[in-house]
Amino acid sequence: MSTDLASKLREGTKHSHTMAENTAFMKCFLKGIVEREPFRKLIANLYLVYSALEEQLQRYCTHPVVSLIYFPILNRKANLEKDLVFYYGENWREQISALEAGKVYVERINEVANTEPGLLVAHAYVRYMGDLSGGQSLKKIIRSALDLPANEGTGLHEFEQLPSVEAIRAFKGQYRDALNALPVDDALAEKIIAEANYAFALNRDVVHELEADVKAAIGDHVFDLITRQDLPGSTERSPGNNAIRLVAAE
Ligand code: HEM
């Protein structure tokens, strides 16, 4: 059975994706402005998000829907722990805290896990496909902006078991095939798409909360210059036609 869920998700979230790319935080990123303090707070909050997500995916690893989209090679928690040691030091656990938006995001993951676990598909899709797509370009921007030592600081975007652009591209094909093979009816597919749009909003809320830190670091004037113009959305173009800005992300 093919539900074409992969295309439906891509189509059904493209506007949300464009909005995510057009957050002030991401616009600064794309201009090469990555400030260490808000960036490490983002990593800390994503650590909390992935800890919840991966715990719930593991809990439902024999669930008829969730099991088919559970790929442990994607797990980010251990890599994020290494990033946190790098950015905060060995006592990172005492230093990190959840943003308000981070708490809401974690609560939502736990809530859907407890009430309708099939919707975890949406949360996994938004984060993992994002890390495998635009995330691969962001990794290069982060490395260069923060002048990072080799193998440090971008564990979020390192997939040790997918060591090349080709391997990532092939895996994304496999992930889309898995989405298409999920035993979901139209009603559940619609709910998954709605939840994916909500997951995008939760991601936007996290970075919005960090914008004040970015502004404080670069100053109001530069912040306004960089963020006043909107960008065309990467997933609003046809698949395979991402060459305009992000060749490496494909
Ligand atoms: C400046 C920020 C971003 C850029 C430049 C970017 C870029 C891209 C690009 C080029 C693709 C298409 C890849 C392909 O077709 O294979 C893509 C896909 C995707 N991105 Fe982003 N992205 C950004 C932010 C985000 C954020 C914040 C999220 C969510 C947290 C996200 C989630 C996704 C997802 C889920 C896909 C897969 C779409 C699909 O093919 O189904 N992206 N992104």
| Average pLDDT for 163-171 | 97
Please give the DSSP secondary-structure letter assigned to residue 240: T
* Ligand 1 in reach of 235 Cβ (< 6 A): yes
* Ligand 1 in reach of 141 Cβ (< 6 A): no
Residues spanned by the domain of 110: 5-249
* Ligand 1 in reach of 205 Cβ (< 6 A): no
- Which ranges constitute the DSSP H helices of 60-147? 77-88, 92-95, 100-115, 120-124, 130-132, 134-145
What does the alpha-carbon distance between residue 231 and residue 65 come to, in Å, rounded to a whole number?
35
How many angstroms separate the alpha carbon of residue 165 from the centre of ligand 1?
15
If one counts the domains in the chain, the total is 1
Reported residue count of the chain is 250
What digits encode the pLDDT tens for the residues 190-208? 999 999 999 999 999 999 9
Which CATH number do you get for residue 14? Answer: 1.20.910.10
Q: Tell me the average pLDDT of the chain.
A: 93
Sequence-distant (6+) residues with CB within 8 A of 123 are: 53, 108, 109, 112, 195, 196, 199
| Average pLDDT for 23-48 | 96
Ligand 1 pocket, mutate which of 127, 133, 206, 229 (most atoms under 8 A from CB)? 133
Structure tokens at 179: 């989405």
Looking at the predicted structure, is the pLDDT value of residue 245 above 80? no
